[in-house]
């Protein structure tokens, strides 16, 4: 025995927890799709053939440490997924999914306390992007048919639209100023006619009464989620503006943030990728635009970028699948009402127009919501001459738009958003 003392730290219980120099390096390289990790160990993770979901200990004490190393430099192809097993991870609870997908990465985590949970000692922002579980249900609420309305319609996880539910709050046309927030809840805010109120929707689909909201009164803007559980509302009219308002994971709407990009109305916003969003299309005066403004993981709106497809106004959009792609539909342009779609990739690139399938009614003022975890729906809308409809068009998890089918609820223009982690 040499008498050398290994560097260690004491756990709160008085038990010695090995620090980096005294970790037990597990000799077997992990190739399985799952791993239950133990504090005080270092693991070589080989994801050549598959992803690996790593479950952390169900209990931990300050100073507990675990290291994971990309053995074959393949995490960029097959990632690792961290299940924090009831404990927090960097201050987020374990309803969020934490993924590491950078080739050659080393993940070194230490347990801090119940508030922060596991904290990486080396953490590349590009690799650690928590992603909320997919929402299972949707809601359409408020709207107009020549008069302001405040009923709602719930959408189940199979894409069935329920009958009208008597509304609460101020009757108004909210349109696309609706979005999920907090992971499994939704918000409808502002509205035409100078409204600044917000109505929160809980994860059971119950719409709350009016609550005061910061930000400029406006309609014809749009909203989308960004980050792990936050959201953004931006642009609109009353007058035409480019301001934005960030929404916290508790549904609080911020004061106006100075605008970026072309001030416009009638645009659409969609989440894409992991924690990102895009505001695209819209109208300024008689000009129909295909401009897009991307939103990063912390809610910063980028300047104008060249879009693709025909300039449009009054579209709606929804995320589909599991790869972070989105689709926009409908609208009004110089050529009349449109029934084409534009796909948005997981890097925020908007495609050229995609001709809609036969049996799809061209219309602006439709609303959209996700449902069933990886699918979407467009519903309601306006077909001209004072006529509103409640048609619905389902979007598959590969972005395919279905023909019109019978909807439910009062015909109108309205807004939609996803909610609930539970089917």
Domains in the chain, please, with CATH?
8-122 (2.60.120.640), 137-419 (2.120.10.80)
Question: Which pLDDT belongs to residue 3?
Answer: 38
Please give the angle made by the CA atoms of 235, 159 and 168, to the nearest 5 degrees: 55
Backbone angles phi, psi at 217, to 5 degrees: -65, 135
pTM: 0.75
Give Cα separations from 136 to 159, 183, 186 (angstroms): 9, 11, 12
348 contacts 276 by C-beta, under 8 angstroms: yes
- Cβ neighbours around 335 below 10 Å, total: 10
Check residue 399 and give left, alpha or beta (phi > 0: left; psi -120 to 50: alpha): left
Q: Cα dihedral sign for 56, 57, 58, 61?
A: negative
Phi, psi of 237 (to 5 degrees): -130, 165
| Angle in degrees, CA 54, 61, 71, rounded to 5 | 30
219: how many CB neighbours lie within 10 A of its CB?
Answer: 22
One digit per residue, pLDDT tens: the chain, 423 residues? Answer: 333 333 344 444 444 444 444 689 999 999 999 999 999 999 999 999 999 999 999 999 999 999 999 999 999 899 999 999 999 999 988 888 899 988 888 999 999 999 999 999 865 544 445 566 789 999 999 999 999 999 999 999 999 999 999 989 999 999 999 999 999 999 999 999 999 999 999 999 999 999 999 999 999 999 999 998 999 999 999 999 999 999 999 999 999 999 899 999 999 999 999 899 999 999 999 999 999 999 998 999 999 998 889 999 999 999 999 888 999 999 999 989 999 999 999 999 999 999 888 899 999 999 999 999 999 999 999 999 999 999 999 999 999 999 999 889 999 999 999 999 999
> What distance in Å separates the CA atoms of residue 184 and residue 136, rounded to the nearest whole number?
9
> Within 13 Å and on the Cβ side, how many CA atoms surround 13?
7
Quote the pLDDT of residue 322: 82
Q: Are strands 178-181 and 148-155 parallel, antiparallel or unpaired?
A: unpaired
């Amino acid at each position: 025995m040499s008498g050398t003392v290994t560097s260690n730290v004491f756990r709160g219980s008085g038990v010695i927890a090995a620090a980096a120099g005294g970790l037990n390096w597990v000799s077997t390289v992990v190739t399985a799709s799952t791993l239950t990790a133990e504090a005080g160990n270092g693991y070589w993770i080989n994801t050549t053939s598959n992803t690996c979901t790593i479950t952390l200990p169900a209990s931990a004490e300050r100073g507990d440490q675990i290291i994971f190393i990309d053995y074959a430099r393949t995490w960029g192809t097959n990632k690792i997924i961290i299940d924090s097993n009831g404990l927090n991870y960097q201050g987020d609870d374990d309803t969020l999914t934490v993924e590491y997908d950078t080739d050659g990465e080393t993940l070194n985590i230490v347990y801090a306390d119940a508030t922060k949970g596991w904290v990486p000692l080396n953490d590349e922002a590009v690799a650690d992007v928590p992603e909320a579980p997919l929402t299972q249900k949707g809601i359409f609420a408020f709207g107009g048919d020549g008069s302001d309305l405040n009923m709602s319609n719930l959408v189940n996880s199979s894409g069935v639209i329920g009958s009208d539910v008597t509304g609460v709050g101020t009757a108004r046309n909210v349109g696309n100023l609706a979005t999920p927030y907090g992971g499994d809840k939704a918000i409808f805010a502002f509205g035409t006619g100078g409204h600044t109120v917000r109505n929160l929707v809980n994860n059971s689909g119950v719409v709350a009464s009016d609550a005061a909201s910061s930000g400029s009164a406006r309609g014809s803007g749009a909203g989308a989620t960004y980050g792990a559980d936050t959201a953004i509302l931006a642009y609109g009219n009353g007058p035409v503006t480019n301001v934005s308002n960030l929404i916290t994971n508790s549904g609080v709407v911020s004061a106006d943030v100075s605008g970026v990009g072309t001030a416009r109305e009638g645009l659409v916003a969609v989440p894409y990728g992991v924690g990102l969003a895009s505001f695209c299309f819209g109208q300024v005066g008689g000009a129909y635009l295909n401009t897009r403004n991307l939103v990063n993981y912390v809610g910063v709106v980028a300047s104008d970028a060249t879009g693709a497809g025909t300039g449009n106004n009054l579209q709606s959009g929804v995320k589909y699948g599991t790869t972070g792609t989105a689709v926009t539909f409908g609208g009004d342009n110089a050529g009349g009402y449109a029934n084409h779609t534009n796909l948005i990739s997981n890097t925020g690139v908007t495609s050229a127009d995609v001709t809609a399938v036969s049996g799809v009614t061209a219309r602006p003022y439709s609303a959209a919501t996700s449902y069933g975890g990886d699918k979407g729906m467009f519903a309601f809308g306006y077909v001209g001459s004072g006529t509103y409809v409640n048609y619905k068009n389902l979007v598959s998890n590969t972005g395919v738009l279905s023909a019109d089918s019978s909807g439910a609820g009062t015909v109108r223009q309205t807004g939609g958003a996803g909610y609930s982690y539970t089917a």
